[in-house]
Amino acid sequence: MEQNKVLVLYAHPSPQRSEVNRHLFKAAKSVAGVTVVDLYYEYPTYHIDIDKEQQRLSEHDVIIFQFPLYWYSTPAILKEWQDLVLEYGFAYGHDGTALHGKTFFCSLSAGGKAEAYQTDGYNHFTIRELLHPLEQMAALTGMQYLPPFALFGARTAQEDGRVKTHVTKWVTLLEELVAGNVDFEIASRAEKLNHYFEAHLVKERA
């Protein structure tokens, strides 16, 4: 039985060149209980339909941004989506309670290697730190924030055979979210959702 309705908001400016995200996007479409939206496809000129997007949010329990990391952040359309859709009176402020009790996280890929995303590493910050504006967006709008589900070293992932295993984990994660088997309290404390996945979901399925 479906416990949670899951919404994946996919943002890739050049999906035809994607080696990682297009496979995640395609796989997510086949999971029952998951709605997948291709934002760049739906809004090539960034004219986001605010009512439609707010309606989608209201109808789902778990909201996921799926994207390739661009300049340590989301591709531009996800920022525009936030700026337009998360209105006062809907997402925050007086009577702005539409998102209360929902869960939010990012599913992202990054060109940099995992070890580069450390305080003393090449990129100086952890991925969770770099996503702080989104974590606070979730806090302000009353959503429980989970750490990102991430694939690093994206450019060599295909040749290393890591895309296939990541897609398999992604599908399992989505299925477990739909089934209500993800412990949000425990998951929220991880640095990456990948850690929660390895520690809890794999064991329980084995």
CB 25 within 8 A of CB 53: no
CB 24 within 8 A of CB 167: yes
In whole angstroms, the minimum distance from the beta carbon of 205 to ligand FMN comes to: 26
Q: Return the range that interacts with ligand FMN (CB under 6 A); candidates 14-22, 83-91, 132-140, 175-183.
A: 14-22
In whole angstroms, the minimum distance from the beta carbon of 76 to ligand FMN comes to: 10
Q: Of 47, 34, 30, 37, nearest to 11 (Cα)?
A: 37
Query: Is position 110 an interface residue for ligand FMN (rule: CB under 6 A)?
Result: yes
d(CA 101, CA 139): 10
In whole angstroms, the minimum distance from the beta carbon of 103 to ligand FMN comes to: 23
Q: Of 106, 33, 37, nearest to 66 (Cα)?
A: 106
Q: Which of 109, 145, 149, 150 binds ligand FMN (CB under 6 A)?
A: 109
Structure tokens at 96: 């702005």
- Cβ neighbors of 91 (< 8 A, separation 6 or more) are 85, 98, 99, 140, 141
Query: Is position 68 an interface residue for ligand FMN (rule: CB under 6 A)?
Result: yes
The contact mask relative to ligand FMN for 167-206 (x = CB under 6 A, - = no) is ----------------------------------------
Query: Is position 71 an interface residue for ligand FMN (rule: CB under 6 A)?
Result: yes
In whole angstroms, the minimum distance from the beta carbon of 111 to ligand FMN comes to: 3
Query: Is position 112 an interface residue for ligand FMN (rule: CB under 6 A)?
Result: yes
d(CA 123, CA 89): 37
In whole angstroms, the minimum distance from the beta carbon of 200 to ligand FMN comes to: 26
For the segment 139-168, give every residue that binds ligand FMN (CB under 6 A).
154-155
CB 201 within 8 A of CB 181: yes
| Pick 21 or 103: Cβ nearer ligand FMN | 21
Q: Which of 20, 39, 138, 201 binds ligand FMN (CB under 6 A)?
A: 20
Structure tokens at 125: 């910050």
Query: Is position 69 an interface residue for ligand FMN (rule: CB under 6 A)?
Result: yes
Structure tokens at 135: 């974590």
Residues β-bridged to residue 108: 67, 150
User: What is the contact surface with ligand FMN in residues (CB under 6 A)?
Assistant: 18-21, 68-72, 109-112, 154-155
